[in-house]
Amino acid sequence: MTRKPGFDLAAELAKPGFTPGARDAGGLVELVAGADETAATRAAPALASLKEVGRRAISERIDALADDGAKARLVGVLGLLARADDAEARALVLARMHDPAVRVRRAAASALGKLGGDDARAALLARWDASDVTADERRVLAEALGKVGGGDALARLRALDARDDAELARRRDRALLMADRSAQRDEDSQVIGDVPPPSPVKLRLGCRAGLADMLVEELAAAGIAAKALVDNEAELELARPLSALFTSHLWASVAVRMPLPAPSGDDDLAATLVRAITAPAMRALLRAWTRGPIRWRLGFASGHKRSVVWRVARDVTAAAPELVNDPTATTWDILVDDSARTLDLVPRRLHDPRFAWRVAEVPAASHPSVAAALVRVAGVRADDRVWDPFCGSAMELVERARCGPARRLVGSDVDDAALAAARANAAAAGVAIELVKGDARSYAPGEVDLAITNPPLGSRVHVDAAALLVEAVPNIAKQLAPGGRLVWITPAFRKTTPACERAGLSRTRSLPVDLGGVRGHLECWERRR
């Protein structure tokens, strides 16, 4: 298509719907090399998106440019191409490590740090050892070596004397953190679930909103005293291994809650966090509950606070070398709420066997803890004949089977993909479930004692759930034996309640729940005898 007179490539790049083509390669090169920073920033990824065409356009133009800054920006684009597995672009970046211009070499070093690999490391080390490295180039090289890691890189960084250059010292310390964490990633790290803590710890268990009281009841049945704090959180003190919590199926998250110490003297937030993380009790707990390197990362309830994160990582590493700051492969999250003065230690690599059978999902499938709540409300009776009329991936039926024997388990759904997922989950759980393609509004499984279901809800399914339930209730009620129960979640109880009552059902329990943005009521109905 012929372009209109006056076509402005820079202006077009600012439009979301514009996609550059091969004929724009030369123009994009000029924009990247030009003085307009905004246009250059937009043009760089657009040029990289042209792949080989973009690379050729850069190669044809870069050596003719007189401005070192323009060359450096084009080297940055070559780095983007190399990260997309363009081997020739990678070779061009490596070659620019020998460019006579410092600015171009800095751009190449920065790109190689992001690329990694033995050839990148060798090129960076060779330049590090050169006799004409400038101070600003040394800073970029230090950062790049930290990213590529390796024993030689660590040795160079550790030997660096940066007392006269505060910025170089900062980058060296940051690079050492990155290189150290990379060096230890080959060793597995896991949270240990079968060892008691060195001393009792205070835990917070998170659950779906509305289920906290039920969670406390479930824990009490397992001999664990807890109290509900809000409708989605319970608190307890634990002197037993974390695995003691696996008898409860209603919690979805766990954290060790610790108070954030009061500032001491002139301490700021970073210094206070370093004291908290390196305190003897924290280190003892992390040692007792971690197998392999103790990897951790820091986060905040609000904001990123990147400068605080790096200061804490540096100072914790200096004070407690066994604690490896590794945001990418962390074993523990340390989450700070500085306004509430709390610190939560969250296990990230804890083997949780409760729902290991969940190997397949479908859109809007229940979270296993929600399925567990439905089963708890329904109760477990050995002679129950159980039907899920909207079985989806069979979360409720598997959970029911794992909680105790039943005379029969049957699930029906209209979606073949859902039934395939249900079969996979049932097989992984080792439970026998009859799975049938059938519409809840008409399918008749035979007389059942319990109909249990979390029907399709939420934005991932395009269905009027309330209307569907109203239409399905007469058939569901018809399948129930006298005294049989319907346990479900309805998103519109004002609409479904009249339908249940017309079908001869009486409500025995109702509690509001939040399924991650979808509000509903978990209800139990019984068929009048």
Q: What is the CATH number of the domain that holds 363?
A: 3.40.50.150
Q: Say if residue 170 is in the same domain as residue 103.
A: no
Sign of the C-alpha dihedral computed for residues 516, 518, 521 and 522 taken in this order = negative
Strands (E), 491-528: 505-514, 519-527
Q: What's the one-letter identity of residue 195?
A: V
* 328 and 438 assigned to the same domain: no
Verify that 299 and 363 share a domain, yes or no: no
Range of the domain at 85: 1-115
Q: What pLDDT does residue 1 have?
A: 60
Residue 42 lies in a domain: yes
- Check whether residue 103 and residue 212 sit in a common domain: no
- Does any domain span residue 124? no
Q: How many domains does the chain have?
A: 4
- Among 70, 88, 115, identify where a domain stops: 115
The answer to whether residue 492 sits within a structural domain is yes
In this structure, the answer to whether residues 338 and 419 fall within a common structural domain is: no
What pLDDT does 3 receive? 79
Looking at the fold, whether 338 and 358 belong to one and the same domain comes out as no
If DSSP codes are grouped into helix, strand and coil, which group holds residue 170? helix
pLDDT in the model for residue 180: 78
Assigned token pair, 143: 């950062």
Residues 170-226 have pLDDT tens digits of 899 888 888 877 777 778 999 999 999 999 999 999 999 999 999 999 999 999 999
Asked whether residue 120 is domain-assigned, the answer is: no
* pLDDT less than 70: residues of the chain: 1, 266, 457-462
Is there a single domain that holds both residue 73 and residue 146?
Answer: no
Domain match, 275 and 360 both: no
DSSP H helical ranges for 191-347: 212-221, 269-277, 280-288, 306-319
Could you report how far apart the first and last alpha carbons of the chain are, in Å?
76
Q: Decide if 125 is inside a domain.
A: no
What number of other Cβ atoms are within 10 A of residue 14's Cβ? 11
Residues 360 and 337 in one domain: no
Residues 385 and 305 in one domain: no
* 123 part of a folded domain: no
Nearest CA to 221 out of 404, 382, 376 is that of 376
- Same domain? For 222 and 326 the reply is yes
Of the candidates 501, 527, 180, the residue with the CA atom closest to the CA atom of residue 326: 180
Residues 168 and 285 in one domain: no
Predicted local distance difference test score (pLDDT) of residue 462 = 59
158 within a domain of the structure (yes/no): yes
What the block records as the tokens of 5 is 């007179």
- CATH number assigned to the domain comprising residue 341: 3.30.2130.30
Last residue of a domain, one of 325, 347, 369: 347
Residue 126 lies in a domain: no
Phi, psi of 64 (to 5 degrees): -85, -10
* pLDDT value for 367: 82
pTM: 0.75
Rounded Cα–Cα distance for residues 9 and 7 (Å): 6
pLDDT in tens, 345-388: 999 999 999 999 999 988 877 789 999 999 999 999 999 999 99
The answer for residues whose C-beta is within 8 angstroms of residue 364's C-beta and 6 or more apart is 392, 456, 457, 458, 460, 461
Q: What is the structure's pLDDT at 459?
A: 46
232, two tokens: 């989605």
Query: H or E segment at 234?
Result: strand 233-238
Domain boundary among 347, 367, 386: 347
